[in-house]
């Protein structure tokens, strides 16, 4: 019987040592330094749509705190684009339709364009008839020029949104 007790004691000791080692490894894993965050993408200097969309994607991802659903991202090309007015009209209709249907708390509306002034016009027009306080808990992200930010903020604030501005630079 003595050998069974000794074997049982050794097995228990090995098991405790394994648990201790596993716990120690888990602690060290938590203390490991986190990988450095990826460098921010800079705003394109021209009207390249693909570059602007990559930039918009990066900025939106960096501003997702508090957002629980996929964001609504609205993009306008540069004003010199062949069908700019048609795209502007289509985006304005889309934004009006989306916000008229109702945007729930935890969502984000992101607006970006190399034509910052025109995007500010679009946002202002889209929010002109929104009921005050109807979009509480919704984040509105405007990526554009500082000169356009206050105008956009004034247009969206009555709806009760959380307004965030990121200067495209």
Tens-digit pLDDT profile for residues 75-86: 999 999 999 999
Whether 24 and 107 map to the same domain: the answer is no
CA distance 88 to 84: 6
The pair of structure tokens assigned to 24 is 């120690």
Whether 27 and 110 map to the same domain: the answer is no
- In the chain, the number of structural domains is 2
Q: Looking at the domain assignment, is residue 39 inside a domain? A: no
Whether 124 and 95 map to the same domain: the answer is yes
User: Confidence class of residue 47 from pLDDT cuts 50, 70 and 90?
Assistant: confident
The pair of structure tokens assigned to 26 is 């888990």
The boundaries of the domain holding residue 58 are 49-167
pLDDT in tens, 116-162: 999 999 999 999 999 999 999 999 999 999 999 999 999 999 999 99
| pTM for this entry | 0.76
3-state secondary structure (DSSP) of residue 159: helix
- Whether the per-residue pLDDT at 16 is higher than 90: the answer is no
Whether 3 and 65 map to the same domain: the answer is no
Whether 3 and 72 map to the same domain: the answer is no
DSSP letters spanning 38-73: PPPPPPPSS--HHHHHHHHHHHHHHT-TT--SPPEE
Q: Looking at the domain assignment, is residue 42 inside a domain? A: no
Q: Is there a contact between 108 and 139 (Cβ–Cβ < 8 Å)? A: yes
């Amino acid at each position: 019987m003595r050998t069974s007790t000794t074997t049982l004691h050794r097995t228990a000791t090995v098991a405790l040592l394994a648990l201790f080692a596993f716990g120690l490894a888990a602690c060290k894993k938590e203390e490991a330094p986190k990988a450095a965050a990826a460098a921010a993408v800079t705003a394109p200097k021209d009207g390249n749509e693909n570059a602007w969309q990559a930039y918009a994607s990066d900025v939106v991802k960096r501003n997702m705190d508090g957002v629980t659903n996929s964001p609504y991202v609205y993009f306008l090309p540069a004003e010199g684009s062949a069908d700019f007015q048609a795209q502007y009209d289509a985006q304005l209709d889309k934004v009006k339709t989306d916000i008229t249907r109702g945007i729930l708390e935890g969502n984000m509306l992101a607006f970006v364009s190399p034509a910052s002034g025109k995007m500010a016009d679009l946002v202002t027009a889209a929010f002109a008839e929104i009921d005050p306080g109807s979009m509480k808990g919704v984040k509105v992200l405007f990526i554009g020029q500082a000169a356009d930010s206050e105008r956009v903020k004034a247009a969206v604030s009555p709806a009760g949104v959380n307004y965030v501005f990121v200067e495209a630079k």
